[in-house]
Structure 1
Amino acid sequence: MPVTDTFHDEETLTLTIVAEFAAEPERVWEVYADPRQLEQIWGPPTYPATVIDHSLEPGGRVTYYMTSPEGEKFCGLWELIAVDRPRRLEFRDYFADEDFAVVESMPGSRCIYTFEATENGTRATCESVFDSSEGLRTVLEMGVIEGSTGAINQIDDLLSQN
């Protein structure tokens, strides 16, 4: 399994997920840079994603929705802050409505994804910094660790296809 560690810290308002992949950082980066590949891994296995907009550059946006097994859509968006291909991606992550407007009543976070070369491939670290401890607690209660772990663990299958 790619996910090797998960931890959260209410003092720093962070949730961190670490994963290891048997592929170079450039290849792991492509999973996020290509909207069709991102669709295959963004969201838990039973909630496939559909990417609508995908501008992976500072000031750009990524909009998407995940579809539940019952057909319910859950929308989200990223607002890109910084991009350092293939090492680092930083964005604001929000829950969104069907018009891809931020849902203010739901927690947002600043996400920093780093891809570091290792002897065996890539170590990916996904850190989310929440605006409040209540926001962090909300996503933890929603099952973000389980959902994110399931999503990230799909990357190995995608990498093995290429």
Structure 2
Amino acid sequence: MNPLFFDLTVDKNSNTVSITREFAADKSLVWDAFTKKEILDQWWAPKPYRSETKTMDFKEGGFRLYAMVSPKDERHWAREDYEKIDASESFTASKTFCDENGVVASGIPSSMWKHHFSEKVSVTTVNIDIRYENAAHLEKMIEMGFKEGITVCLNQLEALL
């Protein structure tokens, strides 16, 4: 079997990150991995961190409130607000850091994530386009290790599938 494709491109001119990742799994399984909390929590944090979802309502207007939990049990909270969902095909969500109640402090940057899923001969391709509000927010995420972290997470998902 050919190696599965992975690409992560940062465009500082448009404040975007584009990710393309192939998985040797049916699209329905990959879709579920992005949209069901019991599966998300198994891969959506780079080890040794873990993901804990406090609440998730995957529907337009719904949101996911979750924590990235460190080995010392420190919690870093985030929320994902679902804006548009085309079942089994795509979804768009804004993501931001928040407190344990989902309250976003003023001045906290958010990013817009567009996910698209396609399948060809038992290989599912996920395209994720992320737009940041400005170059400073994009730079901050890169400095915090976003590229390395998302790569680890997607590799964990591949192993899970």
TM-score (normalised: structure 1): 0.92
Q: 2:28 aligns with which of 9, 26, 29?
A: 26
Structural RMSD (CA): 1.5
Counterpart mapping for 1:6-21 below 5 A: 6-21=8-23
Deviation (angstroms), 1:61:
0.6
Cα shift at 1:118 = 2.2
Query: Quick one: distance in 2 between partners of 1:35 and 1:28?
Result: 13
- The aligned residue for residue 76 of structure 1 is 78
How far residue 52 of structure 1 moved from its aligned partner, in angstroms, is 1.1
Match of 2:150 among 142, 148, 151: 148
Query: Which residues in structure 2 correspond to 1:36-51 (within 5 Å)?
Result: 36-51=38-53
**1:29-72 per-position Cα deviation (integer Å, ceiling 9, x unaligned):** 01122211010111112110001111111100110001112221
Which residue pairs with 2:133 in the alignment?
Answer: 131
The secondary structure found in structure 1 opposite 2:136 is helix
Deviation per residue, 1:100-155 (Å, 9 max, x gap): 11133432100001111123411111111001111000000000010011111111
Aligned twin of 2:59: 57
Query: Deviation above 4 Å: which 4+ runs of structure 1?
Result: none
The equivalent of 2:98 in structure 1 is 96
The alignment covers a number of residue pairs equal to 159
CA apart distance, 1:81: 0.5
Gaps of 5+ in 2: none
- Would you say the 8 A contact 1:2–1:152 is kept in 2? no
Measured at CA, do residues 34 and 16 of structure 1 come closer, stay the same or move farther in structure 2, by a change above 3 Å?
Answer: same
**% identity of equivalent residues:** 26
Letter in 1 for 2:31: W
TM-score, normalising length: structure 2: 0.93
1:3 positional shift: 6.4
Task: Give the superposition deviation at 1:76.
Answer: 0.3
